[in-house]
């Protein structure tokens, strides 16, 4: 079994075995099961902006980029009329059976898209991956795009499992926690509908894996920096995962320098600043911020009109910023809506996940060896979870001109790191490790009985 005392940044000789590859295959299959079970049940559009995401998906192959102020197209409008939006509007048969979808007032935001916020990376990738699915018989682009969510989920589970194995977590625990994510409400909302949130779990898992590799080898720092730029270009909120791993590197460096009794304070600071971990940490965050700044400028330059009023603007103040501090930990595991909207099974899955995530992060901070990677990871994750909400609120105010109460799903990229902390903490005792593995499998099984929003 693993101990937080032994979860260090030292290189591991352990290699990926055939059994590890088989478990990865099992996690991929679990991702497919999630899609096969849930996607056919989606008769309505997800209330989490899927209407404008469907519009972007339909346009990306011909337009490339959706511009600010652009009107939604006929495909998305017809889909809206024929299917309605879960928890908001029912299908409109009369409008659906017609051929004229030009009346803007009949559609969300008076027919103007709000998806211009995003680069075309997610939509272009999803459209490309949807083509073989359509050729296989799923003719509707939206349904095919929803099935692509299983591919994004499989990427997340595979990289998370690989990261856990590199730090010595048992296959059994890695499998159980992978199933916990596969059966989670974030997986339901983000990976069985068309959603830019589908990039969040993969972003967190990839950044975690690359950070572990870099910590163990002190190599491939450039890859970590490059990945930080790419995942942030997919979605701004993925920068939370970048910040978490960057702060982990910085904390590890700071603790190591603080323990050097042979150096004076000034020497410790200078040596720490020159450390490759500090350089990569700053480079990763800088890369993420830079690409988003560039995209913000591009969005402004190509805009064809003002952004729609989404009727969510609120005054920002001290109380609002304090409220944002507690949005992501551990609430990011609840998915896009209140768990109760998905029935008792949704409540059970969300509650179980929240307990595991909270115990993992806080438990490592309290009980972890201060020089361990586990302690640094947990401390960094908690700090970023608390700071990211206010930071994103201010960033949105600066880029979009208004503040709104952030949904907890904006912290989704941190979820794989929550899980990693839980894996390290619960693996200190065999019986706890067994419990966590079984709990993940149990959550996955009962999640398959979730039948949609109430």
Does the residue 85 lie in any domain?
Answer: no
| pLDDT per position as a tens digit, 371-398 | 788 899 999 999 999 999 999 888 877 7
| Runs of H (alpha helix) within 167-275 | 171-182, 185-191, 200-217, 221-234, 239-258, 265-274
Count of domains for the chain: 1
CA distances in angstroms from 434 to 22, 171, 223, 397, listed in the order given? 20, 11, 34, 45
| Runs of H (alpha helix) within 310-408 | 318-325, 343-367, 373-400
d(CA 70, CA 300): 13
Lowest mean pLDDT segment, chosen from 142-146, 171-175, 314-318, 332-336 = 314-318
Report whether pLDDT(435) > 70: yes
Structure tokens at 305: 């009109």
Q: To the nearest whole percent, how much of the chain has pLDDT over 70?
A: 95
Does the residue 83 lie in any domain?
Answer: no
Verdict on whether the full-model pTM lies above 0.85: yes
Q: What is the mean pLDDT of the chain?
A: 90
Does the residue 70 lie in any domain?
Answer: no
Report whether pLDDT(214) > 80: yes
Q: Which domain holds residue 341?
A: 18-40+152-447
Residue in the block written with tokens 């700090």: 383
Lowest mean pLDDT segment, chosen from 85-89, 123-127, 280-284, 285-289 = 85-89
> Partners of 71 in the beta sheet?
112
pLDDT confidence of residue 4? 40
> What is the pLDDT averaged over residues 239-245?
97
> What is the pLDDT averaged over residues 412-430?
94
Does the residue 372 lie in any domain?
Answer: yes
Does the residue 271 lie in any domain?
Answer: yes
Does the residue 56 lie in any domain?
Answer: no
> What is the pLDDT averaged over residues 104-123?
91
d(CA 122, CA 234): 6
CB atoms within 10 A of CB 56: 28
User: Sorting pLDDT into bands at 50, 70 and 90, what band is 14?
Assistant: low
pLDDT confidence of residue 36? 96
CA 242 to mean position of chain CA atoms? 11
Report whether pLDDT(12) > 50: no
Q: To the nearest whole percent, how much of the chain has pLDDT over 90?
A: 70
Does the residue 72 lie in any domain?
Answer: no
CB contact set of 429 (below 8 Å; sequence gap of 6+):
1
> What is the pLDDT averaged over residues 221-233?
96
d(CA 145, CA 124): 11
pLDDT confidence of residue 368? 67
d(CA 87, CA 347): 18
d(CA 378, CA 422): 9
CA 236 to mean position of chain CA atoms? 11
């Amino acid at each position: 079994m693993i101990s937080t005392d032994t979860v260090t940044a030292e290189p591991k000789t352990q290699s990926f075995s055939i059994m590890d590859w088989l478990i990865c295959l099992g996690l991929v299959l679990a991702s497919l099961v999630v899609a096969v079970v849930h996607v056919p049940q989606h008769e309505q559009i997800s209330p989490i902006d899927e209407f404008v995401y469907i519009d972007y998906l339909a346009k990306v192959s011909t337009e490339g980029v959706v511009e600010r102020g652009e009107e939604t197209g006929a495909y998305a409008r017809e889909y809206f009329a024929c299917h309605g939006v879960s928890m908001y509007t029912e299908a409109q048969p009369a409008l659906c059976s017609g051929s004229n979808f030009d009346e803007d007032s009949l559609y969300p935001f008076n027919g103007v898209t709000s998806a211009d916020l995003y680069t075309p990376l997610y939509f272009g990738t999803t459209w490309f991956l949807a083509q073989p699915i359509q050729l296989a018989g799923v003719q509707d682009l939206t349904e095919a795009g929803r099935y692509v969510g299983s591919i994004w989920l499989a990427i997340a589970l595979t990289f998370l499992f690989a990261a856990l194995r590199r730090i010595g977590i048992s296959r059994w625990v890695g499998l159980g926690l992978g199933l916990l994510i596969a059966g989670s409400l974030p997986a339901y909302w983000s990976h069985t509908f068309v959603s830019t949130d589908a990039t969040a779990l993969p972003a967190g898992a990839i950044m975690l894996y690359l950070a572990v590799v870099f910590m163990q080898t002190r190599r491939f720092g450039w890859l970590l920096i490059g990945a930080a730029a790419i995942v942030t270009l997919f979605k701004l909120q993925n920068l939370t995962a970048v910040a978490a791993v960057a702060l982990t590197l910085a904390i590890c460096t700071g603790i190591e320098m603080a323990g050097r009794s042979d150096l004076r304070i000034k020497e410790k600071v200078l040596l720490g600043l020159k450390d490759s971990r500090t350089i990569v940490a700053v480079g990763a965050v800088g890369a993420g911020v830079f690409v988003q700044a560039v995209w913000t400028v591009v969005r402004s330059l190509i805009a064809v009109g003002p952004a729609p009023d989404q009727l969510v603007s609120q005054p920002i103040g001290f109380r609002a910023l304090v409220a944002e501090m507690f949005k992501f930990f551990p609430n990011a595991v609840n998915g896009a809506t209140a768990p109760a909207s998905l029935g008792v099974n949704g409540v059970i899955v969300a509650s179980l996940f929240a307990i595991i995530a909270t115990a993992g992060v806080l438990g490592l901070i309290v009980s972890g060896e201060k020089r361990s990677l586990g302690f640094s990871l947990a401390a960094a994750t908690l700090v970023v979870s608390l700071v990211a909400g206010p930071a994103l609120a201010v960033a949105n105010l600066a880029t979009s001109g208004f503040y709104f109460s952030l949904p907890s799903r904006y912290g989704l990229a941190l979820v794989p790191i929550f899980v990693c902390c839980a894996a390290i903490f619960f693996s200190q005792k065999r019986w706890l490790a067994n419990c966590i593995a079984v709990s993940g499998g149990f959550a996955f099984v009962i999640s398959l009985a979730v039948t949609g929003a109430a």
